[in-house]
Chains A and B, each alone.
Chain A
Amino acid sequence: AQKVTQAQTEISVVEKEDVTLDCVYETRDTTYYLFWYKQPPSGELVFLIRRNSFDEQNEISGRYSWNFQKSTSSFNFTITASQVVDSAVYFCALSSSNQAGTALIFGKGTTLSVSS
């Protein structure tokens, strides 16, 4: 069975702090994909990143970075120098294949609050 665990329910930080959101996944498939989505207060889910199981290189996009470690089945997300606009619910998700028709399994989400 596939499962995604986001152990942190809520995180509160002050602006400019760095923050890491944890994601641990379970799957028996050798080919799988991991995703992060952001849901700001407006409600619409916004895609952030997709990573396949064969690519363990870390990725950086501006203040965002992702650390994928197959050895610990983790795909953690770090925001550097957080800003108030980063306040949102963040979801980690897993799919077993990139083939059409594969649904994503989501974690329960982490609510990040950034105060000024």
Chain B
Amino acid sequence: DVKVTQSSRYLVKRTGEKVFLECVQDMDHENMFWYRQDPGLGLRLIYFSYDVKMKEKGDIPEGYSVSREKKERFSLILESASTNQTSMYLCANQGKNTGELFFGEGSRLTVL
């Protein structure tokens, strides 16, 4: 089975802190995604990556950046966390032939 692992299930940070959310996959998939999930808003795409060192903005990239130095690892970075970034963050990779997404368990971030 495809495994997508997010490093932290729960984080509490202070406004202005730099936050790293790590995501690692154990399959050889090129495409990886970061979504955030908020009540009543569903899943919204932040950034995605087609390959190492490649990145594309999604629908809500403001306040975020990403890093893809290795194929298996896709990191989401909040340069200066704000309270409106309190959310559930979901990492996913994409099946090569099927297009479906495989999700990690999510990282629930609270910014105080």
Q: Given known contacts A100-B50, A103-B48, is B103 in contact with A45 (CB within 8 Å)?
A: yes
Partner of A35, one of B31, B97, B100, B104: B100
The yes or no answer to B105 lying at the interface (CB within 8 A) is: yes
Closest to B101 in A: A104
Q: Smallest CB–CB gap between B18 and chain A, Å?
A: 25
Query: Judging by beta carbons under 8 Å apart, are B43 and A47 in contact?
Result: no
Q: How large is the interface on B (under 10, 10 to 19, 20 to 34, 35 or more residues)?
A: 20 to 34
- Does more than half of chain A's interface fall in helix, strand or loop, or is it mixed? loop
- CB-based contact B40/A9 at 8 Å: yes
Is the beta-carbon distance between B30 and A101 smaller than 8 angstroms? yes
Interface residues of B, Cβ cutoff 8 Å to A:
30-31, 33, 35, 40-45, 48, 50, 58, 88, 90, 92, 94, 96-106
Can you offer 19 A-B residue contacts whose CB atoms are under 8 A?
A: A33-B99, A35-B100, A35-B101, A44-B104, A44-B105, A45-B90, A45-B103, A47-B102, A95-B99, A97-B99, A98-B99, A100-B30, A100-B50, A100-B94, A100-B96, A101-B48, A101-B94, A102-B94, A103-B33
The reply to whether B101 and A101 contact each other, CB–CB distance below 8 Å, is no
Given contacts A43-B88, A91-B42, A108-B42, contact A103 B58 (CB under 8 A): yes
